[in-house]
Amino acid sequence: MADKIQVFTPSFRVEECLEQIRECLEIGWSGMGFKTVEMEKAWNDYTGLPHSHFLNSATAALHIAVAMLKRKHGWADGDEIICTPLTFVSSNHAVMYENMKVVFADVDEHLCMDPADIERKIGPRTRAVMFVALGGNTGRLKEVAKLCKDRGLPLILDAAHMAGSKLDGKDPGHWADVTCYSFQAVKNLPTADSGMVCFQDKTLDEEARKFSWLGINKDTYARAQQGNYKWKYGVDYVGFKYNGSAVMGAMALVGLKYLDVDNVRRRDIAALYDARFAGAGAIETVPMAADCIPSRHLYQIMLDDRDGLMAHLNAAEIFPGVHYRDNTEYDMYAYGKGTCPKAERASDRLITLPIHLRLSDDDVNRVADEVLKFVKAA
């Protein structure tokens, strides 16, 4: 029986991670601070963005992004943010956490939001746009950024898949007001669970630090550096406990060191799949934007009998994924059903083939062989 091939299997540099974590344990600091502060500085340097705040997840980052903008601009409950139905529910839940409403815009051939449809969906209560870079592809992000600027709408970038993607040679976060990255267990920069929120605006970054620490106006690490009155802090409002920990920061620092070389390998795997599927008419691949060097978090194809291919691959010990099921299939977003026909069609036809650093070229060829065998037999 052939070895199982999973859609994602993370690779950790175990000894280096343990060495970094050991430092936390030896000095007795595993929570917020220490390595989280180092990781924030390292992420600023890597992305060129001005502020990075290390959190327990991208879901927390997305909530914070919506919450800070809502407070800054005085948005009301029921005001709207335009987002995509083809995403992990965290993107849309972040809007719901703040009692706002998601209006869905359809996707284009990149499976990212289509600026023309965003424009059509802008209404009197639209307050912001949340762009999701599916698989690390930037799609038409620059056009969306221009549209947002012209219409005075803040742009939130869900960059959960985007660690290491480049747009015109820069981190795509440069085109957004706030960018949210995920370092969850199977992402391109895997930890166990963590994420980063990067505001362009210093005041929002400062506010976000308080919001993610229960509304407390001084974090424990900063207080530990003080002499007197270490124990004394104010609580300005009811915030959330969204902070990242030094142990996760330690893993993230190691992951960051290898992010670029890992992403080169991901792009090589994608190129190998592309070459194998060229000319196989029944298989539709997803074009990367021309100005983007993608992180290649995902390698997606579309075909009519997706479920048949899934069953065929599973029988061959290959376990792909689907990213994502159209969110309007879920009860809380069902009001959006029928508003994004391209996303709906894609959701029925999409399959994510295995892409990760443990795959050899032979493994990738084995997956491609099975896909082509299925398509030829159909």
Ligand X SMILES: Cc1ncc(COP(=O)(O)O)c(C=O)c1O
Which residues are at the interface with ligand X (CB under 6 A)?
A: 57-59, 87-88, 90-91, 132, 158, 160-161, 182, 184, 195
285, β-bridge pairs: 301
Q: Which residue spans within the chain are E strands per DSSP? A: 5-6, 53-55, 80-83, 101-104, 126-132, 155-159, 166-167, 178-182, 195-199, 284-285, 292-293, 299-302, 318-319, 350-353
Query: Considering beta carbons, is residue 247 or 375 the nearer one to ligand X?
Result: 247
Cβ of 40: how many Cβ atoms within 10 Å?
20
Give min distance, CB of 136 to ligand X, in A: 10
Interstrand relation of 292-293 and 166-167 (parallel, antiparallel or unpaired): antiparallel
CB 142 within 8 A of CB 133: no
Instruction: Report the distance separating Cα 40 and Cα 79, nearest Å.
Output: 32
Output DSSP code: residue 329. G
Give min distance, CB of 352 to ligand X, in A: 11
Query: Considering beta carbons, is residue 87 or 263 the nearer one to ligand X?
Result: 87
Instruction: Report the distance separating Cα 56 and Cα 61, nearest Å.
Output: 8
**DSSP calls for 131-197:** EE-GGG--TTHHHHHHHHHHHT--EEEEETT-TT-EETTB-GGGGSSEEEEE--TTSSS--SS-EEE
Token couple for 252: 């993230």
CB-based contacts of 305: which residues, under 8 Å, 6+ apart?
378
Query: Which residue do the tokens 């029988």 mark?
Result: 315
Instruction: Report the distance separating Cα 272 and Cα 285, nearest Å.
Output: 13
Query: Which residue do the tokens 């920069």 mark?
Result: 189
Give min distance, CB of 165 to ligand X, in A: 13
Query: Considering beta carbons, is residue 108 or 158 the nearer one to ligand X?
Result: 158
Query: Considering beta carbons, is residue 89 or 372 the nearer one to ligand X?
Result: 89
Give min distance, CB of 305 to ligand X, in A: 25
Give min distance, CB of 137 to ligand X, in A: 12
Query: Considering beta carbons, is residue 243 or 374 the nearer one to ligand X?
Result: 243
Give min distance, CB of 158 to ligand X, in A: 5
Query: Considering beta carbons, is residue 188 or 366 the nearer one to ligand X?
Result: 188
Query: Considering beta carbons, is residue 294 or 368 the nearer one to ligand X?
Result: 294
Give min distance, CB of 223 to ligand X, in A: 27
Give min distance, CB of 88 to ligand X, in A: 3
Query: Considering beta carbons, is residue 87 or 352 the nearer one to ligand X?
Result: 87
